[in-house]
Amino acid sequence: MKGRAARGVWGAAGAQQPRPCDRHEHACAACRGFVYLHGGRGSTTLRDSWRYHTVKNEWEMLDCSRGGPEELEEHSMVTFKGSLCIFGGTVDSAFTQAKTPLWIYDTDSARWTESCNEPAETESSAPANRKGLSAAVYHSSMYIYGGYSGIKGISQEFWQFHFDTRKWLCVSIPCHSSGPGTRHGHSAAVYHTAMHLSGGLMGLTEQRDLWSWDFRSSSWSSIRTSQGPPPVVGHASIVCKDSMLIFGGGISNSSPNDDLWKYHFH
């Protein structure tokens, strides 16, 4: 079902209150009544981190000076048990290409921890820096898919990060199984026992497909629908009750849209 959000008034923080500057390619996540935001690109790549209080309608800038993330763009952010987990998005350089950039923020103690920040000993031991990836949480793990890096190009790597052990595992996919392939600028969201991945760029071509990864059978399946969003990249998706909402994106960065789509899982 395609629709337009009802016309209303977006709440704005008071003129005297601090607030984030204009930006894109940032990351957001909701946790315990707050919306957290980090980085992105304004006139330059940003490294600031903010917390928005949904009841008070106020922004608060967080301290990233001790152990917090550096300048990031096209990174991912998820939440798990009161912590934020930020991965990827570091500025391209010879050093960051081999780095596994992962930061965890404990919202109770307001402390940042950089995890797995050493270059991987082998290509298969941990994912290297990338941008435009997707990230989603299932049980006690974060799952990241795809993205791109300067030297390696677009990826179809699928990784699992276990929050309790702080260890990475490359997700094994049966050789006979097809999947989304190499892509970036896509989105992913978890519903029950599956992760649903939509859109993004495959090579230079925008996609309009929808894939499902079943955590129980460890397999991909393509979901065919009679209608849905057009080819889109740079969009956002969330699961709400028994539906997935997909908003925004576009065919290119120069042609964003404000379409809102609702996919009914049942």
pLDDT value of residue 227: 85
Note the pLDDT of residue 7: 43
**pLDDT attached to residue 91:** 82
State residue 142's pLDDT score: 98
Give the Cα separation of 115 and 104 in Å (integer): 7
Average pLDDT, the chain: 88
The region, left, alpha or beta by phi > 0 then psi within -120 to 50, assigned to residue 80 is beta
Burial of 225 (0-12, 13-18, 19+ CB in 10 A): exposed
Structure token pair of residue 245: 């909402």
Q: What is the pLDDT of residue 96?
A: 65
pLDDT < 70: residue spans in the chain: 1-15, 94-98, 116-124, 252-254
**Given this model, what pLDDT does residue 124 score?**
59
Q: Which residue range is the domain that position 171 belongs to?
A: 3-264
Q: What is the pLDDT of residue 56?
A: 93
pTM of the prediction? 0.89
Read off the pLDDT of residues 24-34 as tens digits, 9 standing for 90 and up: 999 999 999 99
CA distance 84 to 103: 8
Q: Give the total number of structural domains in the chain.
A: 1
In angstroms, the CA 98 to CA 149 distance is 10
Is-contact 157 172, C-beta < 8 A? no
Look at residue 87 in the predicted model and tell me its pLDDT: 96
CATH classification of the domain holding 32: 2.120.10.80
Reference 210, options 218, 115, 227, 193; nearest CA is 227
